[in-house]
């Protein structure tokens, strides 16, 4: 489902990061581990097509991401990759349901109200569907971000430090939700983290 070979990236004025060859099979749950500054988030952004690889091979769902650009890359990402950032990055002035409709629109998919209702129900936030994002708690916003990530039934769900600022109970709740949603959608799950609580639970790991 995800495969990298000879991949490297360098920010201007920074040391080049060389990544080990790595492969994630469909439906597998995997971690990207390492300390601050080792390139975890950069790798996640490369895998999502938010950064363009400078060297090496990178394929997601059988497609070479470096070969795509512009609207084609945006549409591919919207249909095949679900992204969950450290912060929700939702549009605060829109309602929950309008944020989800926007995710379908950006992926060039027809609006599917049944799918939206199903995902909101699965994440237990149906009653917040018409609320503006700024009216939600942090935990509710995170659930909306997860709903947006899995809405289009992506082949890969990627999360960047999703539990870093959470206490134990909420961290395990988020991890449960991510795993359940990935399994429901038969998607691979990739989490970049340095959280020991997650390391003890997901055994397939890439150490940077």
pLDDT tens-digit series, residues 23-46: 999 999 999 998 888 899 999 999
178-200 pLDDT tens trace: 999 899 888 999 999 988 888 88
DSSP assignment of 99-143: HHHHHHHHTT----HHHHHHHHHHTT-GGGTTSBGGGS-HHHHHH
| C-alpha span between 177 and 85 (Å, rounded) | 15
Number of domains, the chain: 1
Q: Do the domain assignments include residue 33?
A: yes
| C-alpha span between 179 and 186 (Å, rounded) | 10
pLDDT at 10: 92
Which percentage of the chain shows pLDDT scores above 90?
65
Whether 193 contacts 164, CB under 8 Å: yes
CATH number of the domain encompassing residue 99: 3.40.50.300
**Where is 156: in which H helix or E strand?**
strand 156-160
| C-alpha span between 12 and 3 (Å, rounded) | 25
Whether 19 contacts 4, CB under 8 Å: yes
Q: Do the domain assignments include residue 158?
A: yes
Q: Do the domain assignments include residue 53?
A: no
Q: Do the domain assignments include residue 54?
A: no
Give the domain extent around 80.
28-38+70-207
Q: Do the domain assignments include residue 130?
A: yes
Q: Do the domain assignments include residue 140?
A: yes
Q: Do the domain assignments include residue 49?
A: no
Q: Do the domain assignments include residue 46?
A: no
pLDDT at 206: 96
Query: What's the whole-model pTM score?
Result: 0.90
């Amino acid at each position: 489902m995800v495969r990298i070979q000879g991949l490297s990236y360098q920010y201007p004025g920074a040391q080049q990061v060389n990544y080990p060859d790595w492969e994630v099979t469909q439906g597998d749950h995997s971690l990207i581990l390492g300390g601050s500054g080792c390139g975890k988030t950069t790798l996640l952004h490369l895998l999502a097509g938010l950064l363009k690889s400078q060297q090496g091979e990178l394929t997601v769902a059988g497609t070479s991401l470096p070969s795509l650009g512009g609207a084609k890359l945006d549409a591919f990402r919207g249909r095949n990759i679900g992204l969950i950032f450290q912060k929700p990055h939702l549009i605060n002035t829109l309602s929950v349901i309008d944020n989800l409709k926007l995710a379908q629109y950006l992926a060039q998919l027809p609006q599917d109200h049944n799918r939206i209702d199903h995902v909101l129900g699965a994440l237990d936030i149906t009653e917040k569907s018409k609320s503006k994002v700024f009216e939600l708690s942090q935990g509710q916003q995170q659930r909306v971000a997860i709903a947006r990530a899995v809405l289009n039934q992506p082949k890969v769900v990627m999360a960047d430090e999703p539990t870093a600022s959470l206490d134990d109970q909420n961290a395990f709740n988020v991890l449960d939700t991510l795993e359940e949603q990935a399994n429901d959608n038969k998607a691979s799950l990739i989490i970049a983290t340095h959280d020991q609580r997650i390391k003890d639970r997901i055994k397939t790991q890439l150490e940077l």
